[in-house]
Amino acid sequence: MKLYNKNKNQSLKKSGTSFVSFDCKVLFKTILVVSFFMLLALPAKANTNAKFYEFLDDFWHTAKKSGIKRDTFVRAFTGLKIDAEVKKAQKNQPEFVTPVWSYIERAVSDKRLEYGQKEMLERAELLQKIENKYGVEKQILLAIWGLESTFGRNKGNKDVIKSLATMAFRGKRTKYGRKQLIAALKIIQRGDISLEEFKGSWAGAMGHTQFIPVTYNHYAVDFTGDGKRDIWNSVSDALASTANYLKKSGWQTGKTWGYEVELPRNYNYFRSGRGIKKTLREWQRYGIKRVNGRGFPRPDDRAELLLPAGANGPAFLVLKNFRVLMRYNVSVSYVLAVGHLGDRLLGYGPFIRPWPKSDRKLKYVEQKELQRLLTRKGYKIGKIDGKIGGATKKAIRVFQRNNGLPADGYPSYSVLEKLRQ
């Protein structure tokens, strides 16, 4: 029985392959039929909701191939509607639309530091046990916990299935939504948590440290030994699961994420950015020094030079652990905030060089304009999509060099103005 059939006047049709068939329990059948006709009665959203149910009917084939049982699927989706808030939230992730300095200021706030220092003292024994087993330092685990849920104070109250089904149905992240939705159904099918308690963020991130379903299925651990991988209610399981994930992603025990550094005058900014790796000793030969006159404890560690706000902001030599943290969240702002919060919890001070707060971040439409102008002037940037990736940054560098600007590859408003001229 299909929920929606656009070719047969929205009629209910028997089908041996759709996710609800006549051999299902009568209760499930009745609930779904009632839900369908309730949706048809809605004047403004009837069409969208009907298409959503048609999508779910087709999605059953994918779920079935992935090992999802029919009763699990029906139980998860009965009466479900799309979530308008999720559709809106996809366009406004703060780590991608907020200037790096604003994001870090909010992430490493006085209140978060206060909470983190308290947790470090009260959970010292647990943190040490996890660090001993997985080799991930306690300040990093605390920093992730702090950023993801403010130490458990904001774990998210969105229905995970509903959020992921909305993303899977329509939008720019349907591939992500469908993959995570299958993983979420497996969590429900195993009985790891009840459907009523299956809560998280708008993007389906769950628990104290906001694991997405695929990550949970692969890396969550039962650190307490009670037979459950409970990242929702157990701080021990959540922090240990995070440590296990970082360890298996290549975390290097005893090494930091990176260092704030000072660059010499007239530095060649072409020697910066992702992919240009040198030992700290080699970077020193270019005149780069660690701030406050400190030395590098392991000069043979390999690092990349990162300029998150261009030549006018702080500079960092980031190590492998920085890239490992990007497995958790691909945002540079996020990883800088994690590393910095962890350092602050150990007693280190704020970044030394000030951020260029007067140089506002380009809006999405301005980033597309910048790409179009670069293309018109003969620079190759790939697709004009408003996303400043490696190709766009490389084009910006060349343009800057050709026009007497510091070739840092940063998409500043001054670069856009120069292009407009």
Domain boundary among 81, 98, 118: 81
Asked, for residue 347, whether it belongs to a domain, the answer is no
Evaluate whether 148 touches 212 at the Cβ level (below 8 Å): no
Domain boundary among 16, 49, 81: 81
Asked, for residue 309, whether it belongs to a domain, the answer is no
- Gap between the Cα atoms of 106 and 103, Å rounded: 5
How many other C-beta atoms can be found within 10 angstroms of the C-beta atom of residue 53? 21
The per-residue pLDDT for 163 is 96
> Per-residue pLDDT for 3 more than 60?
no
Positive or negative torsion for Cα 353, 359, 361, 366: negative
The per-residue pLDDT for 275 is 85
- Gap between the Cα atoms of 352 and 267, Å rounded: 19
User: At 14, is the pLDDT very low, low, confident or very high (cuts 50, 70, 90)?
Assistant: very low
Q: Mean per-residue pLDDT for 178-201?
A: 97
- Gap between the Cα atoms of 201 and 156, Å rounded: 5
Asked, for residue 355, whether it belongs to a domain, the answer is no
- Of 18-32, 39-53, 387-401, the least confident: 18-32
Domain housing 59: 1-81
Supply 412's token pair.
């500043």
- Gap between the Cα atoms of 199 and 211, Å rounded: 12
Asked, for residue 406, whether it belongs to a domain, the answer is yes
User: What pLDDT, in 10s, does the model give residues 199-255?
Assistant: 999 999 999 999 999 999 999 999 999 999 999 999 999 999 999 999 999 999 999
User: What pLDDT, in 10s, does the model give residues 330-389?
Assistant: 999 999 999 999 999 999 999 999 999 988 889 989 999 999 999 999 999 989 999 898
Task: State the helix-helix crossing angle for 70-77 and 160-169, rounded to 10 degrees.
Answer: 90
The per-residue pLDDT for 45 is 55
User: At 17, is the pLDDT very low, low, confident or very high (cuts 50, 70, 90)?
Assistant: very low
Asked, for residue 23, whether it belongs to a domain, the answer is yes
pTM equals 0.86
Q: Look at the block and give the residue holding tokens 């209610």.
A: 233
Supply 342's token pair.
């962890």
Asked, for residue 376, whether it belongs to a domain, the answer is yes
Higher pLDDT, residue 325 or 90: 325
Higher pLDDT, residue 91 or 254: 254
With b meaning 16 or more CB within 10 Å and e meaning fewer, what string describes 180-205? bbbbbbbbbbeebbeeeebbbbbbbb
Domain count, the chain: 2
- Of 6-20, 121-135, 338-352, the least confident: 6-20
User: At 49, is the pLDDT very low, low, confident or very high (cuts 50, 70, 90)?
Assistant: confident
Supply 139's token pair.
């300040």
Contacts of 188 (CB under 8 A, 6+ apart): 72, 75, 76, 161, 195, 198
Domain boundary among 48, 81, 114: 81
Asked, for residue 179, whether it belongs to a domain, the answer is no
User: At 279, is the pLDDT very low, low, confident or very high (cuts 50, 70, 90)?
Assistant: very high
**Mean confidence (pLDDT) of the chain:** 89
Asked, for residue 20, whether it belongs to a domain, the answer is yes
